[in-house]
Each structure stands twice: as C-alpha cells, then as structure tokens.
Structure 1
Amino acid sequence: MKIVDEDYFLKSIVSDIGNDVASDSIYDYLEKVLNLNISYSSKSITFEPFDEQAYQLFGDVSVAYSATVRSIVYLENTMPFQYNISKHLANEFKFNDFSRRRIK
C-alpha cells in the first residue's frame, strides 16, 4: 500500500455514504446526487514518523515516514463539510502546484 485516505464528512450535510458510492466516486455523488456546490479547500503537508497504525497499514518500509496531507473542504457558502487525512509513503510523495493570478 502506498496511500491511505481517511475522510470525515459533516453528518448534517452528508448523512450516509454507502460502500457502492465510496468504491466509485464520492464527489460525483456529492455534486450530482446531493447537489452540493463544492468550492475550495485548504491543505497542510507535514512529514511524520510512522506510528503503530502506519506500520500495520504500510508494512516494513525503508523510510518510516509519511507525507501527511490534511485538508478541509468547503462549500460555496464557506461552510466546511469534509476533513481528509491522506498519508503517503514519504519516499514516493510528490507535490505539484499550479497557481494563477488575476491582474486587474
């Protein structure tokens, strides 16, 4: 295993996600079935030593660190509705970014 994702949703907005939705496309379900207007997210990336759970999930690896990305996803009305923790093997993690600035 190279990536482990944990997703938490605000229950008042996303009350139930079945295995069929989770194995297909959660965002397709959120946007097309629940009609949510997802707007933006904030992310934080840290490198963390493995804990006991990481050893169980990733096994014995040469670099016992994860690149851990924590995200909060917001709706168009600025309400946070999703919290995500994504752990990647540190020696295989790559970050790419694209930014655009509007000049008035």
Structure 2
Amino acid sequence: MKNKFMKIYEEIAVQIQEGSLKSGSLLPSENELAIRYETSRETIRKALKMLSEEGYIHKVQGKGSIVLDVKRLDFPISGLTSFKELTQKMGQRAKTSVVVLEKGLPDLYIRQQLKLAKNEHIWEIARVREIDGEKIILDKDFLAAKFVPNITEEICRNSIYEYMEGELGLSISFAKKIITVEDPTEEDRLYIDLSGFQKVVVVKNYVYLDDASLFQYTESRHRPDKFRFVDFARRK
C-alpha cells in the first residue's frame, strides 16, 4: 500500500503533466492542501519535497510552490544519450524527420572537425525533431564513412547509435561537448519553429569510439525555451 504522501505527489504530478496545473502558477498553500487531502501538513511537506526534487515545482521562501514547465527536456551535459532514449517516455509526442541523408566528400570545415584525409567520405545527416507538433531541434550529424559504410533513412529516424552498437558492433565511448548561443542561420529558420526567438542553443559534439577513434561531429541546434542542460557535479 502506498504512503499517503506518495498518492498526493502522484496526483499533483499528473495534474502538472496534463496541464491542469499551469506552468508558472502557484500551488495552494500547505494548509489548503492539508484540508483538501484530509491529512497533516507534514505529509503535504513530504509530497511537496518530492515534487520539488523531481522538477515539478520550485519552492520560493515567502511565496509558495511555483509549478515548473515540465515540457522542457533535460539534456544531460556529461552523458552520451540519444534523442530516442531521451524521449522514450513521451510516446507519440516526439517525432523525427530526416531532411538530409547524403554520402560524399566533406568541405574543409567538416574535414578538419573529423580530422579526415582529403579523399575520405562522410555521411551528412540532418534530422528535425518535433515535440507536441513543434519543430524545436535541428540535428546535423557528420559521420566518418569508414566506420559506418551504410546507413538508411529508417535508421536515422529511429536511432543511429542503436544501429551502430547493435548492428555494427561498435562501442561508442566518450564525447567532447561545446555549448554556445548563436544567431539562427537560414537553415535554422527553415527547419525550426523559432516562434520569435532570436537565438538558438548549439551543442557541438565530437564523439569517439572506445579505441579513441573520432567518428562523429554533430551540431544539435535547439530552440532555447524547450530545454534544460543538466549535469551532476561533485566537489572533490
């Protein structure tokens, strides 16, 4: 049998997820919630503490508990997580469209990023990520073809990493990430629903296999209102 505070936590969490409790609104006070749920303030405090820890609310001294925007996606800074893995709990809310899939010789900039010789080919892949009907990410991937000889649109729509690890038997190990805020390009304006935003958040990834071979350079271009870039840090 669930604890009372867990039932309260789950009920309020569902209301936030479904939008009946709006982002930016204040929850009722602890006293009001205690009366509503016919329980003690201590039980309410436990439920609110869990809601805060799980990112549903933010408690402000003297003001109360503010509902946070749970439609933002948490992107781990230090991890190597695919978009598919991030959005598995979202079901049909998330959709990927492949707008570019070409094999060829890279331009000088991409060749330098991947440290390739002049005659080495790459796969250029551009995917638009849509959530709740809004196009909010443009992922531009450049893969060294010597590691990934063949790739299909279906693989790109599903998960490139899943294909590489499951089908090709490659071991993706680590990445260097650079995060910048930039003016949108014409390509961004074409593929992202910018909704008046004048900047995009760009995450550049240099991804390596376990033998330290650099196989991928990525620019993941995000509309800034839909994401939180999170990390866990420990002081040594």
Could you tell me the TM-score, scaled by structure 2's length?
A: 0.40
Q: Give runs of aligned pairs for residues 30-41 of structure 1, distance below 5 A.
A: 30-41=164-175
Taking the aligned partners of 2:149 and 2:210, their CA distance within structure 1 comes to 19
Taking the aligned partners of 1:99 and 1:40, their CA distance within structure 2 comes to 18
Aligned residues: 102
Shift in Å at residue 35 of structure 1? 0.6
**Does residue 4 of structure 1 match 2:135?**
no
Structure 1 residue aligned with 2:219: 85
Higher relative contact order, chain-length normalized (CA < 8 Å, sep 6+)? 1
Shift in Å at residue 91 of structure 1? 2.9
**Does residue 19 of structure 1 match 2:142?**
no
Asked if 1 retains the 8 angstrom alpha-carbon contact of 2:142 and 2:218, the reply is: yes
One-letter amino acid of the counterpart of residue 94, structure 1: R
Structure having the higher helix fraction is: 2
Gaps of 5+ in 2: 1-134
Shift in Å at residue 56 of structure 1? 1.5
Higher CA-based Rg: 2
Q: Identity rate of aligned residues, in percent?
A: 33
Could you tell me the TM-score, scaled by structure 1's length?
A: 0.87
Gaps of 5+ in 1: none
Shift in Å at residue 98 of structure 1? 2.5
2:200 to 66, 72, 95: 66
RMSD of aligned residue pairs (Cα, Å): 1.8
After TM superposition, what 4+ stretches of structure 1 lie above 3 angstroms from structure 2?
none
Shift in Å at residue 61 of structure 1? 2.2
Shift in Å at residue 75 of structure 1? 0.5
Structure having the higher strand fraction is: 1
One-letter amino acid of the counterpart of residue 220, structure 2: S
Task: Tell me whether 73-82 or 60-69 shows the greater mean CA deviation.
Answer: 60-69
